[in-house]
Amino acid sequence: MRIYKVGGAVRDRLLGIAVTDIDRVVVGATTEEMLAKGFRPVGADFPVFLHPKTGEEYALARTERKSGRGYGGFTFHASPDVTLEEDLIRRDLTINAMAEDDEQNLTDPYHGQRDLEARILRHVSPAFAEDPLRVLRVARFAARYAELGFTVATETLKLMRQLSESGELQALTAERSWKEISRALMENQPQVFIEVLRACGALKVLMPEVDALFGVPQPAIHHPEIDTGAHTLSVLQQAAHHKQPLTVRWACLLHDLGKGLTPEEQWPRHIAHESKGLKLIKAVNERFKAPRDCQELALLVGEYHTHGHRALELKASTLLELLQSFDVFRRPQRFEEFLAACEMDARGRKGLEERSYPQADYLRGAATAARSVAVQPLLEQGFKGPELGEAIKRERLKALKAYKEASS
């Protein structure tokens, strides 16, 4: 049996990037031989094993045939006579289809090294189309390696477009799509992920609500970039630049969906886009079964981002409603994430990337003022049940009025 490192480990070593995860392919072996050497099988009918000591993945060289729609529609053929070249040709990109042995001798039948040097993401063969998830993978790699100058090959983009138009993307499970989306959003240039999906028509299929923002104008006075899609991409870019967590990045991507619903005759104004967008945000959240914290923050940011921007003008009662909507007394971290998303929204505008966002500190101060209301004295005065709740609210309102006065 011969063992080779493959995929990302080879690619990233050649790029001079730290390799975290090593996948290996085993040529000339049977399942029985692997088990005899102590390897642990990953699944019942999948020819992948874990090394008994290192836990790293070893896969038998295999060919794949598509037997139906979606990811379930695969049959694998793994046998000792499958060659390394046959295994590599079914992979997604040429830069992912290189192998090397322990002496770092490279096997590169599909010219991955040439494409690495030329900074091109190119599919290996028509077998690319056998897994529609690869449309998302290529967009994710484009986001990851954008800073190194990588772009998607024209013929690969064409194939991605065909796949997007064929209806195959709908067959992807929410879990597989979310895994790609969430990883892509955590890259340094997540906006490139959305741009590539848009360029191949996949965005229209996966997130038509985001796709619809392109071509929708906003008032130049607040939005020198004008286009709502361009703004959304800039907000996402700012979120990555400021190393925001996934929750914030997801909320940034979805915060303005309501603007896609504005009737053209109302452009460039978007009256009540915050509340109108909520059903769209909910739909996208559910389509990908986004984790709860991502779903919640996206909805809250969608509804309240304009409150964030107008913080200094808000009445004490509106401030209190805002703080209560966030359950800020029990969930301070989520409020911080809201403030971060608002700040990214304010900075994701052409020429305004470096502006300060005093609203965030102001709202933090308001939260502290409201939180400073002590419950004990109210209990001592005999308040209980709903009356206690009302009394706390009154005291918080008083505290917020005082805070507003002190800040003006």
- Of 23, 115, 168, 345, the one binding ligand CTP (CB under 6 A) is 23
Cis peptide, bond prior to residue 208, ω within 30 of zero: no
Tell me how far apart the alpha carbons of residues 136 and 194 are, in angstroms, rounded to a whole number.
Answer: 10
Applying CB under 6 A, which of residues 5, 122, 123, 134 lies at the interface with ligand CTP? 134
Convert residues 166-195 into a mask of x (bound to ligand CTP by CB under 6 A) and - (unbound).
Answer: ------------------------------
Q: Could you write out the DSSP letters of every residue in 67-80?
A: -SSTTT-EEEEE-T
**What is the 3-state composition of the chain as percent helix, strand, coil, each rounded to the nearest 5?**
55, 10, 30
Cα 281 from Cα 302, distance rounded (Å):
8
Torsional class of 243: left (φ above 0), alpha (ψ -120 to 50), beta (otherwise)? left
Burial class (CB in 10 A: 0-12, 13-18, 19+), 215: exposed
Q: Please check whether residue 63 is in contact with residue 86, taking contact to mean a CB–CB distance below 8 angstroms.
A: yes
Q: Is 260 in the site for ligand CTP (CB under 6 A)?
A: no
Which C-beta is closer to ligand CTP: that of 124 or that of 301? 124
Residue 92 interacting with ligand CTP (CB under 6 A): yes
Closer by beta carbon to ligand CTP, 134 or else 249: 134
91 is in an annotated binding site: yes
Q: Does 7 bind ligand CTP (CB under 6 A)?
A: yes
Task: Check residue 270 and report its DSSP letter.
Answer: -
Q: Of 128 and 304, which has the nearer Cβ to ligand CTP?
A: 128
In the complex, the smallest distance separating the C-beta of residue 228 from ligand CTP, rounded to whole angstroms, is 30
Residue 330 counted as an annotated binding residue: no
Residue 214, H or E segment: none
Which H or E element spans position 152? strand 151-152
Residue 320 interacts with ligand CTP (CB under 6 A): yes or no: no
Per the annotation, does 11 bind a ligand?
Answer: yes
Residue (of 328, 335, 315) closest to 401 by Cα position: 315
Q: Which stretch binds ligand CTP (CB under 6 A): 30-38, 46-54, 92-100, 284-292?
A: 92-100
Q: Which stretch binds ligand CTP (CB under 6 A): 103-111, 133-141, 201-209, 373-381?
A: 133-141
| Least distance (Å) between residue 137 CB and ligand CTP | 6
Contacting residue, 5, 122, 123, 137, with ligand CTP by CB under 6 A = 137
Residue 14 sits in the site that holds ligand CTP (CB under 6 A): no
Q: Is 3 left (phi over 0), alpha (psi -120 to 50) or beta?
A: beta
How big is the site for ligand CTP, counted in residues (CB under 6 A)?
A: 12
8 sits near ligand CTP (criterion: CB under 6 A): yes
* Residue numbering of the annotated binding site for Mg(2+): 21, 23
- List residues binding ligand CTP (CB under 6 A): 7-8, 21, 23, 91-92, 96-97, 131, 133-134, 137
